[in-house]
Amino acid sequence: KCRTGPLDIVFVIDSSRSVRPFEFETMRQFMMDIIGSLDVGPNATRVGVIQYSSQVQNIFSLKTFFTRADMEKAINSIVPLAQGTMTGLAIQYAMNVAFTTQEGARPLHKKIPRIAIIVTDGRPQDRVTEVATQARNAGIEIYAVGVQRADMNSLRAMASPPLEEHVFLVESFELIQQFGKQFQDKLCGVDMCVVQEHGCQHSCVSTPGSFHCECNPGYRLNADGKTCSPIDMCADGRHGCQHQCVSARGSYLCRCRPGYYLNQDKRSCTMIDYCSFGNHSCQHECVSIPNGHYCRCRSGFTLPPARRSCRATDLCNGVDHGCEFKCVSADGSYHCVCPEGQQLQADGKACSKCGAGHVDLVMVIDGSKSVRPQNFELVKQFVNRIVDLLEVSPHGTRVGLVQYSSRVRTEFPLNKYHSADEIKKAVMEVEYMEKGTMTGLALKHMVEHSFSELEGARPLSHNVPRIGLVFTDGRSQDDISEWARRAKESGIIMFAVGVGKAVEEELRAIASEPVDQHFSYSADFTTMTHLVENFKLNICPEEGKGEMEIRSPCECEALVQFQTNTVAILQSLTEKNILWVSLARSLAQMTARLEDLEKQIATKK
């Protein structure tokens, strides 16, 4: 056997009419003898056969057969063409077709020799010199074997150099079989994989005077040129698997995590809907999760541990009750209540208001992408519920609105609208911004612009409380600490309202002292109406401390009204020249009543 390593050999056989039938049989045997000496296979020597006369016929290509038995069967079935002798045409076909990678030739960079064995018995009827030169330049090594009447000059024009090793002339077809044994020695040199320790992990490929290592399918050759590693088809990230990519030899497959199944595209995964099996027994809702399911109750109901039946719970947390102050659940229903000193109105939800307390209120609302459009509408309703609590007028409470996301936008300043209806209409026309959450930038804008006298804030000398209410649903993308501190240092009473994924640490940093009275939180946009109950807008200055504190607006009104009445009575008595004794007595009585009222207010606090 020939052990030089893999070769790509194509026999180019003359089957013109000058080759008689018994002579063609000797050519068949010549080819089979040569093939019999070769180590054929997909990774060893590959063999193709073409015959020609006035045309070229492909008997089998380099990729067709990989066993000697199949090749011999195909050779024995050849029917000679018995026409002219177009040797140049045959060489061109071998170059342009037979030795292409599409027909089974190995790529040139693998350095596997490409050998054409031309066997002819006559002079070519076309030009061979130019096309043979092109074939040799394309890397094809040509052996020219002439039999009997062959033209030596044509053989020499076709063959590769050195000519003494590539040109052969056999006197008759009877001798070609004997020549075949000698020709084998030309093809079979020293097998470098046999005569030295090659060290190849998988397979050694011998080439003339050298060798190289190759790996089995699904492996790649390492940098040492000898060892092989599995090809990780998942490593390049182009597999498209949604969950997991599993490498196989030379390929890969996608796999889903437990609780999911692989779709028909063999890449994406869908969660198994365990609820669709129909055996969950949940009273209200069944929710599928990976590897199972769980039962869930509708709003207003709760699911006891390890149970599937739902029972009624606090309806105030499950419905939009609309109570202005507080919702109270009882026996599967609910009702609204008002704070002490206020009465429930005819609608069963609103409370009577006292008109004392004027403030400058700026609400700063989160319009980031995480809020989502439907929830932003609920935020606007929340703002309008707060407006409903106020006595809005140019000389009473003024309201401004700021929206922020990745940037900040004043929707309307403090001096824009002078009635609650105008404000509520403007709020409902506000457009959702989307994008990021720059809460720190919004606080800066509020401090520097929103509470400026230019935008309607009353001068600090008027002692009108300034209130900032920040509404957010998530973590800020910038620092809030500096401008939260500056806001409070500038005299702004800060309230922080958080929903959903709002961060308590940030809410507390924004809120004024005492923090617990100045920040609120709701887990869901649909149940945040109770936050309005916690927001006390009317503020009275507490004399002697220089601070602002939250008080009942009705208590403030009563105290202010009593003081006003007392001054009026004193002025009236003075104008009528009442005796100083009576004046002193009345003044003492008034002072006593004033002290008594203040004690009552302190007791209620």
State pLDDT tens for residues 10-41.
999 999 998 888 888 888 888 888 888 888 89
**Confidence band (pLDDT; 50, 70, 90) for 546?**
very low
pLDDT value, residue 504: 87
Q: Which of 1-10, 60-69, 269-278 has the lowest mean pLDDT?
A: 1-10
Task: Evaluate if residue 312 carries a pLDDT over 80.
Answer: no
In the chain, the percentage of residues whose pLDDT exceeds 90 is 35
| DSSP string of 397-459, one letter each residue | BEEEEEEESSSEEEEE-TTS--SHHHHHHHHHTPPP--S---HHHHHHHIIIIITSGGGTPPP
**Confidence band (pLDDT; 50, 70, 90) for 321?**
confident
Q: Which two tokens stand for residue 250?
A: 């030379």
pLDDT value, residue 544: 30
Task: Evaluate if residue 483 carries a pLDDT over 90.
Answer: yes
Contact 115, 145 (CB under 8 A): no
Q: How far apart are CA 12 and CA 59, in angstroms?
A: 10
pLDDT tens string 265-305: 988 999 988 888 877 788 888 888 887 888 888 776 777 77
Q: How far apart are CA 206 and CA 225, in angstroms?
A: 14
Q: How far apart are CA 526 and CA 307, in angstroms?
A: 27
Burial 435-456 (b: 16+ CB within 10 A, else e): ebbbbbbbbbbbbebbbeeebb
What is the sign, positive or negative, of the torsion defined by CA atoms of 346, 351, 356, 360?
A: negative
Mean pLDDT of 175-189: 63
Q: Which of 7-16, 251-260, 291-300, 370-379 has the lowest mean pLDDT?
A: 291-300
Q: Which of 78-87, 179-188, 360-369 has the lowest mean pLDDT?
A: 179-188
Other beta carbons within 10 angstroms of residue 279's beta carbon come to 9
Task: Evaluate if residue 524 carries a pLDDT over 90.
Answer: no
pTM of the model: 0.36
Task: Evaluate if residue 501 carries a pLDDT over 60.
Answer: yes
**Cis amide leading into 413 (omega within 30):** no
Mean pLDDT of 170-191: 65
Q: Which two tokens stand for residue 365?
A: 């609302």
Which residues does 551 contact at the CB level (< 8 Å), separation at least 6? 538, 539, 540, 605
Other beta carbons within 10 angstroms of residue 582's beta carbon come to 10
Burial 194-211 (b: 16+ CB within 10 A, else e): eeeebebbebbbbbeeeb
Q: How far apart are CA 273 and CA 240, in angstroms?
A: 23
| DSSP string of 510-550, one letter each residue | HSPSSGGGTEEEES-GGGTTHHHHT----EEEETTTTEEEE
Give the H or E element holding residue 472. Answer: strand 466-472
Q: Which of 250-264, 369-383, 532-546 has the lowest mean pLDDT?
A: 532-546
Q: Which two tokens stand for residue 392?
A: 């809005």
Q: Which of 249-253, 259-263, 518-522, 581-585 has the lowest mean pLDDT?
A: 581-585
Q: How far apart are CA 62 and CA 42, in angstroms?
A: 9
Report the range out of 85-99, 385-399, 502-516 with the highest average pLDDT. Answer: 85-99
Mean per-residue pLDDT over the chain, rounded: 81
pLDDT tens string 425-461: 999 999 999 889 999 999 999 999 999 999 999 998 8
Mean pLDDT of 553-565: 50
Task: Evaluate if residue 363 carries a pLDDT over 70.
Answer: yes
Task: Map out the domains of the chain with their CATH numbers.
Answer: 7-188 (3.40.50.410), 314-354 (2.10.25.10), 360-538 (3.40.50.410)
